[in-house]
Structure 1
Amino acid sequence: MCTMGSLRHFLLFTAAVIAVSSAVTAAHNITAILEGHPEYSQFNDYLSRTKLADEINTRTTVTVLVLTNGAFSSVTSKHPLSVIKNVLELHVLLDYWDGDKLHDISKGTTLSTTLYQTTGNAPGNLGFVNITDQKGGKVGFGSALPGSPLASQYTKSVKQIPFNISVIEINTPIVVPAVLNAPAPAASDYNLTGALEKAGCKTFASLLISSGVIKTFEKAADKGLTIFAPNDEAFKADSLPDLSKLSNADTVALLEYHAVAEYTPFGTLKTSKDPISTLAANGAGKFDFSTETSGDSVTLHTGVDSSRVASTVIDSTPLCIFTVDKVLLPAELFGNAPSPAPGPAPEISPAPAPESDAPSPSAEASAPSPLLSPPAPPTSSPGGAPADSPTADSENTTASKNSGAVNAPALLLLALLALSVYLS
């Protein structure tokens, strides 16, 4: 029969197991891992410069194929940052691979999904890596495209947190000509209004043109720019204040509030902890917003209302364009608006995949929708996010983003500890 004392010991043991499990699933930091290895300093630096470190840190199951400074210089010395980012994405596998698993591949060969596959720029097998156990202690890596050589060889294991993150060294970059030779347009090469119109944000594009703010965006784009564009439906919402009553200066501030003078991809948004300053910031107001992450969803909070990041239009260093479900209302302009009343959450359909090509130019944007709706409490909208990667095979199905899996074990841990104290 189970005594009270044995039950208490069992609960304490279970709590300890959960605590260890929670620690294992906690977020890792690829930059911190590589800082202890100066031979990978260049690789680590470019993970930070391209913001891929943030994306890696949001993944719960990931393998990073690192290169020494000498090996990686063959990429960095010849290519612009946007191409270097694509190459790095091919070296981030969305599965867990350590030395033991590499030498125990079913049928001796497999395909593994990479971060490049999730960008929408990788047709066919372009975003997959072929991993082949070549016996005799050798494991080869190469593009999954037919006829590609397995020119990269596994060298050694660097760091493993089992089934969470693995860092292993290969001796030479995985070379894919279609990636290395892909055109690398500058941000100024994009037609911003054309991209916005194509993404269903014609009203926003029209307001940018009529206010002259589009010139501000174009000027900032080459140094780093992220735009959060409300879709056309957002301007028809009953909850939207009458924007036609804004002065010209306030209209400019509102539009500039929808952009950040920095390249901020989705992975960086997911890991942001501090308020994010916008182009509207000035001495009279902060004009910033905060982010909240829930699984694969990111919600922007302005202090007046909230809006989810709905889809990715462009993600090409140093330019990002996202669509959002609602017009972002800064507290500096709408701080006296009535508090939002709770309402039913709208149904969310899967977010569209990112656009892979620069949009075609458009001569002029459509006229804005009527903006004369009286103020009303906005309806809350749960978060959403860009589409994620496909699965290569059964060995690659463990790829997922960090969805805060630590919370449930932590709550169970507290409950078990409380029960053990009560029973004692």
Structure 2
Amino acid sequence: MASAMKTTVIFSLLSIIAVCHAHNITEILSSDPSLSQFNSYLTQTKLDDEINSRQTITVLALDNGAMSTFTSGKPLSVVKNLLSLHVLLDYYDPKKLHSIANGTVLTTTLYQTTGSASAQEGQIPYNISVLEISAPIIAPALLTAAGSDVNLTAVLDKAGCKTFASLISSSGVLKIFQNQMEKGITIFAPTDEAFKAKGVPDLSKLSNAEVVSLLQFHALSSYSPVGTLKTTKGKLATLAPGGGKYDLSPSTSGDTVTLHTGVDSSRVAGTLLDSTPVVVYSVDNVLLPVALFGESPAPAPAPESDSPSPAPSPEADSPSPASTPASSPPSPASAESPAGESPAERPGTDADDSSPKNGVAQRKGSTLFIAVVLSVAFGVISLVL
């Protein structure tokens, strides 16, 4: 490729760590003060959460001297993209380095994902490797930041979230979101199909203040990329005022993140924009807060009488013995169910939440591979972009 750029760097083996439990990249790097800046930027960009949420990974670390040049004059969003090139979604240890055929292997970097790559196929599920390299990997195409002046409505319109874009514009919530962008914001934008789904309330029956609260409920006052959502325990406070009844509770299954409101739930379907400190997701359903729509009712049990009912009279509405045994109690499947649902349908409504269909793993984006050319004899890693 004419646009390809080759960077050759000398490396030293910093540490190889194999653990049987979740790793913590911040703790691992903190043992070496010369990597403090690299460690700090992983935390600032929330890449540490993404690294910690993965199981098989190799981190190419830079010392403080290299980081000073690497980050000088660059916004945090650009630094994050460049640091993502230094995280390989594979595990390299001395044995594996020596066994690479012809000294060359094609691997994938974290930049290719938004935190929702496919499961680590064929990998040992509990390894992390940290290698120190002497020079950064630079991809010129990643040096441009989206910035806080991003056209949010254009991003939403292009992604099929025109209804949400129109609502935040007409209600004045767009201005609230724009003011929050410099400090950090996470936006969950329902798709146009989500607003047409069965059960979505008629927004025209809400007051202007309630519509504003509903829309603010779809945003967090902090930057939370996918890795952070996957590692979050407990509730997330939204921009909507009103305390706990406007909180979201995330859950994770594999690479799928689901948001629970107390009324309904929705899968995080894709990442529309990730430019630190702004991230915008699309979600499958409109998020309905408890404060406006009340708690989701528990499935109603089959009707029961306070006292035992007498056996039915053979003369009253009794089928002939040939058809059905007399006095036979109704089967559980025939008991009344709310809204005509069978009991098998009532335990939950999120059966599709863990489906990879249209999930974040399918987000279209730049595909960037790094060919890691390893010459063990000379201690050289040559990375071809």
Q: What TM-score, normalized to structure 2?
A: 0.71
Alignment correspondent of 1:68: 63
Q: 1:205-224 to 2 correspondence within 5 Å?
A: 205-224=165-184
Aligned in 2, Cα 1:336/1:99: closer, same or farther, shift over 3 Å? closer
Does the CA contact (< 8 Å) of 1:96 and 1:163 recur in 2?
A: no
Does the CA contact (< 8 Å) of 2:114 and 2:226 recur in 1?
A: no
Task: Give the Cα separation in 1 of the matches to 2:40 and 2:212.
Answer: 36
Aligned in 2, Cα 1:46/1:209: closer, same or farther, shift over 3 Å? same
Aligned in 2, Cα 1:336/1:113: closer, same or farther, shift over 3 Å? closer
Q: Deviations over 1:216-244 (max 9, x none)?
A: 11111122111101111111122122322
**Aligned partner of residue 153 in structure 2, secondary structure:** helix
Pair 1:293 & 2:252 matched: yes
Does the CA contact (< 8 Å) of 1:25 and 1:60 recur in 2?
A: no
Q: Percent identity?
A: 60
Shift of 1:337: 5.3
Alignment correspondent of 1:323: 282
**Aligned partner of residue 28 in structure 1, secondary structure:** coil
Deviates more, 1:161-170 or 1:74-83: 161-170
User: In structure 1, what residue type is equivalent to 2:257?
Assistant: V
Alignment correspondent of 1:382: 353
CA RMSD of aligned residues (A): 2.9
Task: Give the Cα separation in 2 of the matches to 1:46 and 1:253.
Answer: 34
Alignment correspondent of 2:135: 172
Shift of 1:99: 2.5
User: In structure 2, what residue type is equivalent to 1:56?
Assistant: I
Alignment correspondent of 1:203: 163
Shift of 1:271: 0.7
**Aligned partner of residue 387 in structure 1, secondary structure:** helix
Pair 1:249 & 2:244 matched: no
Aligned in 2, Cα 1:119/1:278: closer, same or farther, shift over 3 Å? closer
Q: 1:270-281 to 2 correspondence within 5 Å?
A: 270-281=230-241
Pair 1:104 & 2:66 matched: no
Does the CA contact (< 8 Å) of 2:87 and 2:109 recur in 1?
A: yes
Aligned in 2, Cα 1:221/1:104: closer, same or farther, shift over 3 Å? same
Alignment correspondent of 1:86: 81
Q: Give the unaligned 5+ runs of structure 1.
A: 1-22, 121-160, 342-375, 396-424
Task: Give the Cα separation in 2 of the matches to 1:306 and 1:29.
Answer: 30
Q: 1:17-416 to 2 correspondence within 5 Å?
A: 24-119=19-114, 164-179=127-142, 182-188=143-149, 190-282=150-242, 285-336=244-295, 338-339=297-298, 379-380=349-350, 381-383=352-354, 384=356, 385-387=359-361
User: In structure 1, what residue type is equivalent to 2:353?
Assistant: P
The structure with the largest alpha-carbon Rg is: 2
User: In structure 2, what residue type is equivalent to 1:223?
Assistant: K
Does the CA contact (< 8 Å) of 2:273 and 2:281 recur in 1?
A: yes
Normalized per residue, the structure richer in helix is 1
Does the CA contact (< 8 Å) of 1:118 and 1:388 recur in 2?
A: no
Q: Deviations over 1:258-289 (max 9, x none)?
A: 0011111111111111211110034x655111
User: In structure 2, what residue type is equivalent to 1:76?
Assistant: T
Aligned in 2, Cα 1:312/1:340: closer, same or farther, shift over 3 Å? farther
Q: What TM-score, normalized to structure 1?
A: 0.64
Shift of 1:392: 6.5
Aligned in 2, Cα 1:109/1:249: closer, same or farther, shift over 3 Å? same
Q: Deviations over 1:60-102 (max 9, x none)?
A: 1100011111121111223221111111111101110123322
Task: Give the Cα separation in 1 of the matches to 2:60 and 2:297.
Answer: 52
Does the CA contact (< 8 Å) of 1:340 and 1:379 recur in 2?
A: no
**Aligned partner of residue 361 in structure 2, secondary structure:** coil
Shift of 1:119: 5.0
Deviates more, 1:285-294 or 1:83-92: 285-294
Task: Give the Cα separation in 2 of the matches to 1:201 and 1:312.
Answer: 12
Does the CA contact (< 8 Å) of 1:304 and 1:339 recur in 2?
A: no
